Amino acid sequence: MKLLLINPNTSKSMTAGIAKGARAVASAGTEILAVQPSFGPLSIEGHYDEAFAAAGVAEQVRLAAPQRPDAVVIACFGDPGLEAAREATQAPVLGIAEAAFHAASMVATGFSVVTTMTRTCIIAERLVQRYGFEQQCRGVHGTDIAVLDLEDGGQALVSQIEQVAREALSRDRSAAIVLGCAGMTALCQTLTQRLGVPVLDGVAVAVKFAEALVGLGLRTSKVGDYATPLAKTYTGWAAPLGWPNT
C-alpha cells in the first residue's frame, strides 16, 4: 500500500525524522511518501501556526491525489486539517493524536500526554474532548521544549521528557504515556525502557492503524460531511487549490 505521511510544518529535517520513524514500523509492503506543505510555519506551537498548517495539509492531500495514496497520516499532534483532508480524499486519514488516544485506551485505563510548549496543552486537551477521551486521559503536560529543539531526535532532551512523564504518571495516577509531538518519535523506545509503562508514539500507531484500515478495505465515507468538497473558485495564492467541477 501507499501511505501519504504529511508533516504539517515546513521543517525538512523534521519531515525526514518523522519518515524514519514511520518506515521503522511500516510493513514491507507499505511505501511511505513523506511530504510537507509548500508554505507555513517551520514548527507548529500554537493556534496561529496551526491555522496555516491546516491549510498546508489540505494542499498536500490535494496535490498528492494523482499518486492515489491508500491512506493518509497527519504527523502533528494537533491533527491539523484532519477533517478537511477527510473531505478531500477517499483514503482513510489518521491524525497521530487521535490514533495514539485510541491505542493508549486499549492498553491502560488512564494515560497522560507529555508534549512540547505548555501553551499548546490546550490544543491537546480540546482534542481529548473532541475525540471523547475525557475519562481515559488523566492529564496533558508541557515540557516547554521547543519543537525544533527535538530535531536531533531529542536524545539530549530525553531525561527532561522522562522527568515530566514520571511526574505525570504519579500525579495523574495514569499507566501509559502518549508522546505529544511527532518530533518525539525517535524517543519512544528509550522512554518505554526507562519508564516501564507503555509509551505511545502517534506516528508509529497511526502507520499501523492505517495499514489495518486499508487491510480491512475501509475508506473514508463519502456520505454526509466527508463528501467531496463542493466545486469552488479559490483566489490569490490558493487559486490552484479550489475544487474543480467534476
Q: Does 181 interact with ligand 5HY (rule: CB under 6 A)?
A: yes
Q: Does 9 interact with ligand 5HY (rule: CB under 6 A)?
A: yes
Q: How far is the CB of 123 from ligand 5HY (least distance, A)?
A: 6
Site for ligand 5HY in 109-168 (CB under 6 A): 115-117, 120, 147
Q: Does 104 interact with ligand 5HY (rule: CB under 6 A)?
A: no
Q: How far is the CB of 176 from ligand 5HY (least distance, A)?
A: 19
Q: How far is the CB of 182 from ligand 5HY (least distance, A)?
A: 4
Instruction: CB nearer to ligand 5HY: give 56 or 214.
Output: 56
| 111-115 sheet: strands from edge to edge | 137-142, 111-115, 176-180, 199-201
Instruction: CB nearer to ligand 5HY: give 70 or 201.
Output: 201
Q: Does 5 interact with ligand 5HY (rule: CB under 6 A)?
A: no
Instruction: CB nearer to ligand 5HY: give 7 or 226.
Output: 7
Instruction: CB nearer to ligand 5HY: give 43 or 60.
Output: 43
Which of the ranges 61-69, 169-177, 179-187, 228-236 carries the binding residues for ligand 5HY, by CB under 6 A? 179-187
Q: In 3D, which of 171, 159, 181, 52 has the Cα closest to residue 114?
A: 181
Binding mask 70-89 for ligand 5HY (x = CB under 6 A): ------xxx-----------
The DSSP secondary structure of the chain, one letter per residue, reads: -EEEEE-SS--HHHHHHHHHHHHHHS-TTPEEEEE--SSS-SS--SHHHHHHHHHHHHHHHHHHGGG--SEEEE-STT-TTHHHHHHH-SS-EEEHHHHHHHHHHHH-S-EEEEES-GGGHHHHHHHHHHHT-TTTEEEEEE----GGGGTTTTGGGHHHHHHHHHHHHHHHT-SEEEEE-GGGGGGHHHHHHHH-S-EEEHHHHHHHHHHHHHHTT-----SSTTSPPPP----GGGGGGSPPP-
Q: How far is the CB of 10 from ligand 5HY (least distance, A)?
A: 9
- Checking DSSP bridges between strand 31-35 and strand 2-6, what pairing results, if any? parallel
Which of the ranges 25-33, 101-109, 156-164, 177-185 carries the binding residues for ligand 5HY, by CB under 6 A? 177-185
For the beta carbon of residue 160, count every other beta carbon within 10 angstroms. 13
Q: Does 45 interact with ligand 5HY (rule: CB under 6 A)?
A: yes
Distance, in Å, from the CA atom of 189 to the CA atom of 191, rounded to the nearest integer, reads 6
Q: Does 201 interact with ligand 5HY (rule: CB under 6 A)?
A: no
Q: How far is the CB of 5 from ligand 5HY (least distance, A)?
A: 13
**Which residues of the chain form contacts with ligand 5HY (CB under 6 A)?**
9, 43-45, 76-78, 115-117, 120, 147, 181-183
